[in-house]
Amino acid sequence: MLVDAPFDCQCCGAVNVTSVDVSAGRKQSYTEDCQNCCRPHLLYITVEVRDGEALATIDAEPESDFF
C-alpha cells in the first residue's frame, strides 16, 4: 500500500511529496531527488499505523555536503 508523505529540500527549500510503500517495513531509507532542483536527498522514513491508517514521516538530508 502506498501513502503520500512530504519532505523539504534542504538545498532549495521546495516541498516534495513522495509515495511510500508502507508494506516495506516500519523503518526505511532510500535516496530521492528533489522534484525542483534535482539534488539527491537521503530519506529516513518511519511508518506508523494509527486507528487502522498507515502514516509515513520523513526526515531528509542532502546526500552530499556539496550543493
* Three-state secondary structure call for residue 23: helix
| Model confidence at 66: pLDDT above 60 | no
Q: Give the tens place of pLDDT for each residue, 13-64.
A: 999 999 999 999 999 999 999 999 999 999 999 999 999 999 999 999 998 7
pTM: predicted TM-score of the whole model, two decimal places: 0.87
Instruction: Tell me the residue type at 1.
Output: M
At residue 54, the pLDDT reads: 95
Name the region of 10 (left: φ>0; alpha: ψ -120 to 50; beta: rest). alpha
At residue 64, the pLDDT reads: 77
- Partners of 47 in the β-ladder: 56
Beta-strand (E) ranges in 1-67? 2-8, 15-21, 27-33, 40-50, 53-62
Domains in the chain: boundaries: 2-62
Task: For residues 4-9, give the mean pLDDT.
Answer: 97
At residue 20, the pLDDT reads: 97
